[in-house]
Structure 1
């Protein structure tokens, strides 16, 4: 059983939770080995190189996948999914959902996602369009950027993740310090960013995802 890992700050609480969860060591080692950006994990799951991952929400809509009500969500603002103003149209090769979202929202410019985007936004917020904020203004809904998808053993993954939202995951100081240094983002900004992110896909999130997929299908 191989779980793919997106090594972005927005999934840091999940990675810490899984480290503490009583999983076989082989599972944890495989998860570290199968790291990648969203677009890479989309491909890895499609070709069954991994068994499960949090993948781009637009990719998760494929009929072959079994999806949990768990993903990367934000409401009103996210700071890490951006379009750079006054630039030529360009996709972020790490992304799938965000590139399509920019087109749905008719935002022209360079798409940037992840920790790199967060770093840039914190330095010069007025230079970028926050696509989550733009989506909320249009729809009054949150946005689901990614969703937990698997090819099999859905019940097992659901069991593993069942206590995630019930337990408040505390990020150890040494890990927080490591991410702050490696990403060039101070610890206070990381904590503030994580308060924008949540993982439970409920009624509003499902409605938002359905609307996004419908609008994306028209492009």
Structure 2
């Protein structure tokens, strides 16, 4: 199984879970080799250069994909999907879902996502609009930023990911991430460990009825046809 990995802090609990699991070593190595930003994983899965990945939720609607109810979700706030206030209109080349969301929300300015967005937000939150917060104001629903999709080895991935969800229903139930890993991400992303831990409290992975309803509304508003 060739699994593509989004190399962002928001999937740190999943990555640690996979690293600690009983997966064959060649699978674990492939995950590290195939890590990238969402937009590039979208392209890799579309071209079948990987078997499965958590990709942009808007991309996951393509009929060629099998999807699991597992992804990157947030409710009311997310801290890492932003539009910069008083800035020139600019999309984030790493994203598909967030660029489209900014248009749905009629937000003008620079779109910025992922760890670089979190790094800026924790320093000067007053300079940014949290798109998850704006989405909640509009719909009173959470938002699904990404979803697990596959073109191959779907049943194998389903077993692995369902076990992960059982351990990660709420932030309090999550597998504790060792300090040395937090230290590594803190140093490489230049974000404090406390800010990383706080941020992960906003992220959850189980997609339920509200998240699916939100995705349907979002897709309808983007007029995306797949």
Which TM-score applies when normalising by structure 1? 0.98
Deviations 1:150-208 (A, max 9, x none): 00222211101111122222111100001011111111110010000000000100100
Whole-angstrom CA distance in 2 between matches of 1:214 and 1:158 = 28
Unaligned runs of at least 5 residues, structure 2 = 168-173
Instruction: Note the aligned Cα RMSD (angstroms).
Output: 1.1
Whole-angstrom CA distance in 2 between matches of 1:98 and 1:204 = 19
Whole-angstrom CA distance in 2 between matches of 1:157 and 1:35 = 17
User: 1:218 Cα shift?
Assistant: 6.8
Whole-angstrom CA distance in 2 between matches of 1:156 and 1:27 = 12
Unaligned runs of at least 5 residues, structure 1 = none
Whole-angstrom CA distance in 2 between matches of 1:169 and 1:48 = 31
Task: Flag as ranges the 4+ runs of structure 1 deviating above 3 A.
Answer: none
Which TM-score applies when normalising by structure 2? 0.95
The 5 A counterparts of 1:52-91 are 52-91=52-91
Q: 1:198 — aligned with what?
A: 204
User: 1:34 Cα shift?
Assistant: 0.5
Whole-angstrom CA distance in 1 between matches of 2:13 and 2:224 = 35
Deviations 1:62-104 (A, max 9, x none): 0000000000000000000000011111000000000000000
Q: 1:29 — aligned with what?
A: 29
Q: 1:149 — aligned with what?
A: 149
Q: 1:184 — aligned with what?
A: 190
